[in-house]
Amino acid sequence: MLTNRQLLILQVTVDEFIQFAQPVGSRQLSKKKEVPFSPATIRNEMADLEELGYLEKTHTSSGRIPSEKGYRFYVDHLLIPQLATTEDMKQIQSVFKERISETEKVIQKTAMILSELTSYTSILLGPDVRKHRVKRFSIVPLSSDSAVAIIITDSGHVENRLFQLPEGLTTSDIEKTVNILNEQLVGVHLHDIQRVLEKETAVLLKRHIGRYGELMSSFGVAISSPQEEKVFYGGKTKLLHYPEFSDLHKAQGLITMMDQANQISKLFSPNQVGIHIRIGSENTLLEMEDCSVITASYTVGEEQMGSIAIIGPTRMDYRRVVTLLDLMSGDLSRELTRILGGPRS
């Protein structure tokens, strides 16, 4: 248990280091109105906080900086979210003012605004497109033996799938196929297309299309191919502006990691609810050892659709980021619910 005096000194030390990125000394703290103690008293308390593992001494100064344990205690027990300013609210609302009808454009703009507001890197995992429903289906022949199937979903997402056309398939056959697909597949989730295609739709295609077997073989493989996870970035290189990432090798490793979608997913906790904060070594990726990651999820109705992450140095401004992320995730959820029409089964 820390004393009230130690709690205050730890809180102010963390706040000072977040703001100025310089080791904090006892004399510096004694000049602050909210710390009514002498430099000697503060120095003794800082020494005790160091012994307890909440502060660390640097080699270049007599001051101290927060340790990872200190940041974790600060975040868990001392963090008071900062009130959003009028300007912050205006920028957040600007994402949704245009009433954009495509989810991906809304999410991309959200990533950009979050990065601008926080001066950190923002990453959004897009909604699981497999849960989107088919709105329209079309097939565009590219040559005598190949075509692209175009699937437009209820969110405005577009899927293009290349497949081989059977020899001798006529323009009339293609038109009939498109009509049957639209009749049978509109309203079906992307992840359910294969099942519907192999059952109800196959019966109609077999009845009306001469080269049905070859068409289904090629088309079925294209439709069932796995979806890539959509990742949206805002300010990917903004981290490089902070002194913590002045080391070129470290910076290159961080940027390379962020380019790999399979690595990015490790920043997020599956099925998380609310705001989550991971500090330094709490992140499973070695490249993130000098970073903190604050994440939140966004929903459509009651259904979780995707996740948002803000990445910054461990001395990031937690108070501001938590507030902005909470506001943005809530507004994004409401906007996507509007676009997609509420809860979906």
What are the pLDDT digits (tens) for 84-140? Answer: 999 999 999 888 887 766 788 889 999 999 999 999 999 998 776 666 788 898 999
Architecture, CATH, for domain 86-128+230-340: 2-Layer Sandwich (3.30)
Q: What integer pLDDT is reported at residue 27 of this predicted model?
A: 94
Average pLDDT, the chain: 88
Closest by Cα among 205, 188, 209 to 136: 188
Residue range 130-224, CATH number: 3.30.390.60
Q: Is the pLDDT of residue 343 over 60?
A: no
For the residues 177-202, what does the mean pLDDT come to? 85
Does domain 4-78 sit in CATH 1.10.10.10? yes
Residues 201/195, Cβ–Cβ less than 8 Å: no
44 vs 161, more confident: 44
What are the pLDDT digits (tens) for 137-147? Answer: 899 999 888 99
Domain spans in the chain, listed from the N-terminal domain onward:
4-78, 86-128+230-340, 130-224
Side-chain-side CA neighbours of residue 162 (13 Å): 4
Report the Cα 255 to chain-centroid distance in Å: 16
Q: What integer pLDDT is reported at residue 221 of this predicted model?
A: 79
Least confident of 99-103, 180-184, 241-245: 99-103
Task: Tell me the pTM.
Answer: 0.77
For the residues 63-82, what does the mean pLDDT come to? 95
Cα 218 to Cα 214: distance, rounded to the nearest angstrom: 6
Can you read off the two tokens belonging to residue 283? Answer: 């992140």
